[in-house]
Amino acid sequence: MTSVATDLPYAAEAESSLNYDELEVLRNQYYKEIESGHVTTQSKFNYGWGLVKSSTAELQTEGVKLLQEIYSASPSHRRECSYYIAVGYYKLRNYTYARKFNDLLLAVEPENMQAQSLRQVIDRAVSRDGYIGMGILAGAAAVTGLVATALIKRSRR
């Protein structure tokens, strides 16, 4: 299987993560501003973006929350937030919301290459997970059938 970065260079961010030190710089700036009593939208966005690009679901969820706060409070930042919220939901495997926020961006910017390629990445993940789900269901059905057959045979004795 080829990597997303090779196939879809614009959506490579959906698969990449920040390292601890990079995220720590963003975290320190954000909390420094909290302590001063004035958090800039840019620092909040940068930290949310960094959290979304982290490698753990807990941090990604926190990042999506921060970005959604900006999305709601600042219409001028909705474009950037829509994309990274979509990336965050994609990384969290919540493809319904990933599509929703990505489609919001595509509705305004249909030629946006990042959003177009992210849409393809989301679609592939939905297909892949669908096939995995079908395999799990088929396996469960087979096991259920075997157990039922064994119980029927046992009850006939």
Q: Enumerate the domain spans of the chain.
A: 10-156
What is the residue type of 146? L
Alpha-carbon distance of 47 to 66, in angstroms, equals: 8
pLDDT tens per residue, range 3-13: 433 344 456 66
* 77, 109 contact by CB (below 8 A): no
pLDDT exceeds cutoff 90 at 57: yes
Helix residue spans in 12-56 (DSSP H)? 20-36, 41-52
Least confident of 26-40, 93-107, 114-128, 140-154: 140-154
Task: Give percent of the chain with pLDDT exceeding 90.
Answer: 66
Please state the pTM of the whole predicted model.
0.74
Which helix (H) or strand (E) covers residue 82, if one does?
A: helix 78-91
- The pLDDT of residue 146 is 57
The CA distance from 150 to 43, in Å, is 62
- What sign results for the dihedral spanned by CA atoms 118, 123, 128, 130? positive
Assigned CATH class of 10-156: mainly alpha
Greatest mean pLDDT among 3-17, 68-82, 121-135: 68-82
- In this prediction, residue 134 carries a pLDDT of 46
pLDDT of residue 97: 96
Q: What is the pLDDT of residue 152?
A: 72
Of the chain, the percentage scoring pLDDT greater than 70 comes to 73
Distance (Å, whole) CA 11 – CA 122: 10
Q: Which among 11, 9, 18, 16 is positioned nearest to 122, based on CA atoms?
A: 11
| Count of beta carbons in the 10 Å neighbourhood of residue 77 | 16
